[in-house]
């Protein structure tokens, strides 16, 4: 699962760090791989997982890889942040990683254009692996930028709706809503207040709440963000205005920004047992497939269900889709062991048993078509909801950008300003967003 929800400060710091790679990276676009993959060698693999069960799962896969490749030993370094990965890729040296995994799919554009990660096409071609048919097409798409593939998907994340079945039954709601108009009505019906204070929110729509970011909403509305020339297009995309208008109205209908923000800042941590959905303080939650396992581990006092997140009324035919993200895997361009590193990348990302066992262990969605069809894949109904969402043909990730995910952060910040009521002219706000994004992208090169 993702280690933390996106925040402007963290993500912008990561983007700025990657930006330095354009001029400081020691690798080059055509750097060759000359090492013998059958020679005895040691690879350094950096990953971001830190929970004991997750670390144990990746270590088990690495052990199986080493058994199949007795000449290759893998030094595993856990809990590595994107910021540290960026510094290592920029600096090079013998202490740096050969293979890296990252939770930040938004940075693929930066990784590829800066040559921080090696071009994987020669390796894939030699192995006769077609990313478009090997990986889930939507995940294959978000792991390349502008025709260059410097990463492959390791595991995926799909976003959908969790709901409190007991609260639904109490309110006489028989099924999760499919249309956003129905969803808004359900959210209001499930909200409870006492003396003007919110005791339970049907749903927290704030852009500052857990996982309710512009890109997670945006996939349901079909937002494109950028035009074919890479220019920001939010002022001209009616889906963006529809999203902002719907979100603001629901926020106001549920009590307004001040009241909801007071509620938001008083609830438990997103990754702890006191998450507001776990405690019953929120009846519906937009979240990823990992939440089901976390909720089960928290031993909730009520039954929960999962379903795709609703879509705009006019797009009900597309119900079932959701936002996709996940872990990406690549080879450091300054590694002197690229051929051996490819053996590890190939195993972790395309070996069906490896992908399925890892997905089952950490409750993520497999990224290969074969793994998704495997009879060994977890059959838990909650989990399977997200497996289905991942395979919906219109599930999507935000487009890659030369400036990483900065364009999403900019729109998110304008969204917060709009929900706070600081900016009331939505058309003017979106024009400001486009101007800022285009300026930032131009500076990023």
Q: Which two tokens stand for residue 105?
A: 């799919």
Q: In b/e form, how buried is each residue of 428-442, taking b as 16+ CB within 10 angstroms?
A: ebbebbbebbbebbe
Other Cβ atoms less than 10 A from the Cβ of 304: the count is 20
pLDDT of residue 93: 63
Q: What is the CA radius of gyration of the chain?
A: 22
Where are the domains positioned within the chain? 8-157+325-387, 158-318
The whole-angstrom distance between residue 333's C-alpha and the CA centroid of its chain comes to 24
Mean pLDDT of 189-214: 96
CATH for 158-318 is 3.40.190.10
pLDDT of residue 82: 80
CATH 3.50.50.60 is held by the domain 8-157+325-387: no
pLDDT higher than threshold 70 for residue 63: yes
Residues 6+ apart with CB under 8 A from 227: 233, 236
Asked if 76 and 62 count as a contact pair (C-beta separation under 8 A), the reply is: yes
> What does the angle CA 187 – CA 208 – CA 253 come to, to the nearest 5 degrees?
30
Percentage, residues of the chain above pLDDT 90: 83
| pLDDT tens track for 321-364 | 999 999 999 999 999 999 999 999 999 999 999 999 999 999 99
Which residue do the tokens 């676009």 mark? Answer: 29
Q: Which one is predicted more confidently, 229 or 216?
A: 216
pLDDT of residue 94: 67
Mean pLDDT of 219-242: 96
Q: DSSP readout, 92-121?
A: -STTS-SEEEES-GGGHHHHHHTT-B---H
Asked if 310 and 182 count as a contact pair (C-beta separation under 8 A), the reply is: yes
Helix axes 381-391, 290-297, angle to 10 degrees: 170
pLDDT of residue 395: 97
pLDDT of residue 33: 84
Counted residue by residue, the chain has a size of: 445
3-state SS of 252-269? HHCCCHHHHHHHHCCCCC
The count of C-alpha atoms lying within 13 angstroms of the C-alpha of 375, restricted to the half-sphere facing its C-beta, is 0
pLDDT of residue 19: 46
CA dihedral 290, 293, 299, 304 (to 10 degrees): 80
Mean pLDDT of 85-102: 81
DSSP class of residue 4 equals: S
Taking the model in full, what pTM does it have?
Answer: 0.91
| pLDDT tens track for 317-332 | 999 999 999 999 999 9
pLDDT higher than threshold 50 for residue 235: yes
pLDDT of residue 114: 87
User: Which helix (H) or strand (E) covers residue 44, if one does?
Assistant: strand 41-46
Measured CA distances, 402 to 30, 84, 175, 226, 432 (Å): 19, 20, 42, 12, 20
Q: DSSP readout, 184-229?
A: HHHHHHH-EEETTEEEEBS----TTSTT--HHHHHHHHT---B-TT
pLDDT higher than threshold 80 for residue 100: yes
pLDDT of residue 92: 63
3-state secondary structure of 245: helix
d(CA 404, CA 441): 9
Other Cβ atoms less than 10 A from the Cβ of 77: the count is 13
d(CA 325, CA 102): 11
Instruction: Say whether 158-318 and 8-157+325-387 share the same fold.
Output: yes
| pLDDT tens track for 151-189 | 999 999 999 999 999 999 999 999 999 999 999 999 999
Mean pLDDT score of the chain: 91
Residues 6+ apart with CB under 8 A from 158: 288, 289, 322, 323, 324, 365, 386, 387, 389, 390, 395
d(CA 24, CA 40): 31
pLDDT higher than threshold 50 for residue 27: no
Asked if 419 and 254 count as a contact pair (C-beta separation under 8 A), the reply is: no
Other Cβ atoms less than 10 A from the Cβ of 421: the count is 13
pLDDT higher than threshold 70 for residue 8: no
Percentage, residues of the chain above pLDDT 70: 92
Nearest to 158 by CA among 181, 136, 143, 184: 136
């Amino acid at each position: 699962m993702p280690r933390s929800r996106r925040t402007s400060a963290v993500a912008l710091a990561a983007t700025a760090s990657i930006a330095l790679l354009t001029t400081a990276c020691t690798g080059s676009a055509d750097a060759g791989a000359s090492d013998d993959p059958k020679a005895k060698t040691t690879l350094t693999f950096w990953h971001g997982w830190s929970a004991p069960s997750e670390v144990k799962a990746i270590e088990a896969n690495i052990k199986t890889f080493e058994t199949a490749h007795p000449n290759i030993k893998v030094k595993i370094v856990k809990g590595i942040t994107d910021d540290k990965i960026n510094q290592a890729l920029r600096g090079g040296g013998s202490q740096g990683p050969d293979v890296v995994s990252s939770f930040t799919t938004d940075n693929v554009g930066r990784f590829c254009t800066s040559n921080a990660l090696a071009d994987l096409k020669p390796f894939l071609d030699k192995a006769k692996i077609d990313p478009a048919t090997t990986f889930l097409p939507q995940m294959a798409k978000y792991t390349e930028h502008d025709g260059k593939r410097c990463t492959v998907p390791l595991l995926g994340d799909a976003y959908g709706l969790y709901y409190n079945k007991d609260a639904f039954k109490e309110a006489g709601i028989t099924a999760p809503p499919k249309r956003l108009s129905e969803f808004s009505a359900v959210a209001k019906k499930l909200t409870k207040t006492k003396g003007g204070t919110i005791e339970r929110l049907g749903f927290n729509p704030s852009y500052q709440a857990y996982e309710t970011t512009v890109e997670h909403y945006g996939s349901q509305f079909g937002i494109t963000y950028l035009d074919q020339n890479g220019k920001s297009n939010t002022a001209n995309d009616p889906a963006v205005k529809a999203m902002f208008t719907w979100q603001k109205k629901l926020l106001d209908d549920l009590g307004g920004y001040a009241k909801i923000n007071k509620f938001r800042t008083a609830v438990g941590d997103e990754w702890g047992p006191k998450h507001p959905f776990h405690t019953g303080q929120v009846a519906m939650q937009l979240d990823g497939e990992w939440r089901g396992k976390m909720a089960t581990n928290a031993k909730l006092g009520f039954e929960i269900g999962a379903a795709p997140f609703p879509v705009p009324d006019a797009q009900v035919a597309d119900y079932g889709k959701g936002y996709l993200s996940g872990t990406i895997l690549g080879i450091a361009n300054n590694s002197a062991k690229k051929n051996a590193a490819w053996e590890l990348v190939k195993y972790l990302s395309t070996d069906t048993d490896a992908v399925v066992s890892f997905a089952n262990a950490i409750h993520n969605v497999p990224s290969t078509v074969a793994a998704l069809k495997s009879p060994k894949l977890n059959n838990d109904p909650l989990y399977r909801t997200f497996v289905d969402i991942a395979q919906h043909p219109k599930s999507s990730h935000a487009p890659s950008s030369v400036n990483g995910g900065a364009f999403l952060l900019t729109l998110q910040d304008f969204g917060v300003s709009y929900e706070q009521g600081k900016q009331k002219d939505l058309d003017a706000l979106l024009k400001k967003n486009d101007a800022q994004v285009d300026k930032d992208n131009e500076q990023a090169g």
